[in-house]
Structure 1
Amino acid sequence: MDNIVTFSITVFTGFFAITNPISNMTVFLSLTRGEDRKTKQDINKRANITAFTIVTVFILLGKFIFELFNISIPAFKITGGILIFFIGFEMLQSKKSNVKHIKNVDEDENIAISPLAIPILAGPGTIVTAMNFVSNAKPLHIILVIGIFGFMSILTYITFSLSNFVVKVVGNNVISVIGKIMGLIIAIIGTGMVITGIKLAFNLIVQ
């Protein structure tokens, strides 16, 4: 039971740091500027449903993808860890990650799908984090990861719905500080993945 609780807390912390709904409120506001309330809510809902669907597919088909492309778990953890560390490092420097964000948005493009769902909410970092949690995992853990990401999607939806109010009350400076803290957590998670990958590669720990 303790292992399940610890695992759930770890998964939630990882997803919260990588999806970062508080920091991404400003992104949501900038992308939906000028839209009426109903349109914003429609975009918000569609983006979160799309992100949840994408991540769930990768969680369920992760092992199949590994086998199809002959990807080893150690190689995945090392490469994914480096990618996640890079995202966190850029957040610590108050930069928008080139991995997670795109610079220009076509006004005619459905922003709920891109860039909001992909790559902001369900970018490479989120997918790698999700697949890392379920690599070599039991069915119960896979269900937990899907459920926790589903909860994160609901939390993100609520956060985006309250974005105008929260930004006015909290201020951009506080949101910036939170973003840096999330960046530090992401970098630590990435480092941990690299260390685990190296240990697995050299049989230093039992898989």
Structure 2
Amino acid sequence: MEILLATFSALFPVINPFGATPVFLALTGAMDKATRNEQALKACLYVVGILVVFFFAGTFILNFFGLRIEDLRIAGGILITRSGLSLLNPDDAHKGSKRLSKEVQEEGLEKEDISFTPLAMPLLSGPGSIAVVIGMYNKATGYHEVGFIIAAIILVAIASYLILRSSQQFTRFLGKSGMAALSRMMGFIVLSIGVSFILNGVLSLVNMYLEK
């Protein structure tokens, strides 16, 4: 249960479905409610698939490229820290925090199905969340912990679906100032997670060299 809560608390702020709601509404503006909900559901199912695949394949990928888990933690921490800083920036928070490039948004508006790209990837399951799940795999010591981590991924996807499904109500209720405040709160948590990743990676490397 402890690793389930740790995985959920580390993954949810990085995925940050609250920050994805403005982009989601912009991409699904021409869709009816049923189609919008369907896109949200499919996107969150894809998120589970993407993260579970990287969760199990992470060690193989690191070994293939000759990387260590400490390298991933530092690189992932830098990405997560950058994301957290952008959420703390007033201009980015006002714009809904999570953003896609103009070209990706234009491509998304032309597609009938946006659930996989750009919604599931890269908007929800980007490099930061992938780094988190790969790092959690190396902390799992048995099948029961692996099961709890996968359960946490599913819970994050369920929470993300419920938030995306209620995105219109959220933005209407909170307004621009409320969304900006929420974005900054999430940004602080994301920034803390990124710093923790970097410190853990650096300390592990220092201990590794000291032991030599």
Partner of 2:101: 102
Question: Could you tell me how far apart the structure 2 residues matched to 1:63 and 1:28 are?
Answer: 32
Aligned to 2:133: 130
**Is the partner of 1:64 in helix, strand or coil?**
helix
Q: Give the deviation of 1:8 after TM superposition.
A: 2.7
Residue 142 of structure 1 deviates from its aligned partner by: 2.4
**Which of 62, 67, 78 lines up with 1:66 in the alignment?**
62
Q: 1:157 to 1:98 in 2, by over 3 A?
A: closer
Which structure 2 residues correspond to residues 18-33 of structure 1 after superposition, within 5 A? 18-33=14-29
TM superposition shift of 1:18: 0.8
% identical aligned pairs? 26
Q: Tell me the SS of whatever aligns to 2:207.
A: coil
Residues in 2 aligned to 1:31 and 1:100: alpha-carbon distance in whole angstroms: 12
CA separation in 2, counterparts of 1:98 and 1:115?
16
- What is the SS of the residue equivalent to 2:18? coil
- 1:8-23 alignment, distance < 5 Å: 8-23=4-19
1:79 equivalent among 75, 79, 82: 75
Q: Is the 8 A contact 1:90 1:97 kept in 2?
A: no
> Partner residue of 1:120?
123
Counterpart amino acid of residue 138 in structure 1: T
Gaps of 5+ in 2: none
Partner of 2:89: 93
* Structure (1 or 2) with the greater helix fraction: 2
- Identify the residue that residue 40 of structure 2 maps to in structure 1: 44
1:151 corresponds to which residue?
A: 155
Aligned-partner Cα distance in 2 for 1:98–1:17: 12
Whether the aligned pair in 1 keeps the contact of 2:136 and 2:149 (CA below 8 Å) is yes
Q: Distance in 1 between matches of 2:100 and 2:11?
A: 17
Normalised to the residue count of structure 1, the TM-score between the two structures is: 0.88
Q: Which runs of 5+ in 1 are unaligned?
A: none
Secondary structure of the 1:203 match is: helix
Most deviating of 115-124 and 159-168: 159-168
TM-fit CA distance, 1:100: 6.6
Describe how 1:118-197 pairs up with structure 2 within 5 A: 118-139=121-142, 140-197=144-201
User: How many angstroms apart in 2 are the aligned matches of 1:166 and 1:98?
Assistant: 15
Q: So what's the TM-score if we normalise by structure 2? A: 0.86
Deviation of 1:113 after TM superposition, in Å, equals 1.5
